[in-house]
Amino acid sequence: MKIKGKLIIFFVLSLLVFILSGCVEFYEHISSNKKGEVNIFFKFSFSKKFLDLANAESGEYFDYQTLISILETDNDLYSLLGFQKSTFSNENEDGYYLKGTINLLDNSLKTKVKEGGIKFIPYLENNKIIIILPSGILKMFFSDILDNEGEDEESSEDQVSEDAKEDEENAEYNDYVEEIEYIKTLFSAVKYKLTIGKNFNFSIKTVYLILNNKVKPIEIIDLFDQYLIEICFSDFIIYDQVYLVIE
């Protein structure tokens, strides 16, 4: 019976991952212009139908603005860098575009991006190109657990034994771990795709993620006229600090 249950869960997760892979898009393109500046285009889009399905099944309610609140930076900060932002909405999806030009050799750029925590905008530090990626995504799903962590429910020691308490805590922890793994599985279908034109003024030899204090190598795919870097969101949703490093 347990094996049958696990198979059902496996097939359900596989189906959800397949569906989700076409519902969310994070795409960014970076290239250099004739002046040596860096042109950046970024697109984020989300399927309306999937959002409706998620709301119906979860019992929670997330609208588009709530969903992207942890993924984007304040509009004023993008404007500070001279970026243009435009939103779009049709019967299938909502989303926004970012388009702008930066000078990686400008030290003020690094200061603005780091201090503002501006996501998806590269800056230069120690001859390395660094991009801040969304972090704290898991907290969006478990904010109630994380906010109340450490708080004890009122109970009588006379009514509930220590063994019963420990069993209950272990069961809650196991459920928590299972839910985290479930969400990580779903987010394995969501990818951040970055393409870098071969005309980019900086050499690209190594790419990796810094996840808090951990380092995770990332593959570089050569597409003849550009490089492709793909990162699954499941690789970093549990971390509070996420940086993509190119050197």
Any idea which residue has 């097939």 for tokens? Answer: 11
pLDDT band at 78 (very low <50, low <70, confident <90, very high): confident
**Nearest alpha carbon to residue 132 among 39, 42, 228:** 42
Residue type, 1: M
Check pLDDT > 50 for residue 124. Answer: yes
Predicted model pTM = 0.73
pLDDT at 3: 41
Cα–Cα distance between 62 and 216 in angstroms, integer?
31
pLDDT at 150: 42
Q: What is the CB-side half-sphere exposure of residue 35 using CA atoms within 13 A?
A: 8
- Rounded to an integer, the average pLDDT of 3-22 is 44
197 Cβ contact partners less than 8 Å away, ≥ 6 residues apart: 29, 30, 31, 32, 225, 226
SS3 233: helix
Share of the chain above pLDDT 70, in %: 59
Check pLDDT > 90 for residue 10. Answer: no
pLDDT tens per residue across span 15-47 = 444 445 557 788 999 999 989 899 999 998 877
Check pLDDT > 60 for residue 216. Answer: yes
- Rounded to an integer, the average pLDDT of 233-246 is 86
Long-range CB contacts (< 8 A, 24+ apart) of 213-217? 214/239
Among the residue ranges 37-51, 95-109, 190-204, the one predicted with the least confidence is 37-51
**Strand-by-strand arrangement of the 84-89 sheet:** 84-89, 93-102, 38-47, 24-32, 191-197, 226-232, 221-222
Check pLDDT > 70 for residue 143. Answer: no
Residues in the chain: 247
pLDDT band at 142 (very low <50, low <70, confident <90, very high): low
Q: What is the CB-side half-sphere exposure of residue 100 using CA atoms within 13 A?
A: 19
Check pLDDT > 60 for residue 113. Answer: yes
- Rounded to an integer, the average pLDDT of 170-179 is 62
Would you say 195 and 207 are in contact if contact means Cβ atoms under 8 Å apart?
Answer: no
Residue 237 DSSP label = T
Q: How far, in Å, are 64, 74, 102 from residue 78 at the CA level? A: 19, 7, 11
pLDDT band at 155 (very low <50, low <70, confident <90, very high): very low
**Nearest alpha carbon to residue 233 among 171, 191, 183:** 191
Cα–Cα distance between 242 and 238 in angstroms, integer?
10
Looking at per-residue confidence, does 93 or 53 come out higher? 93
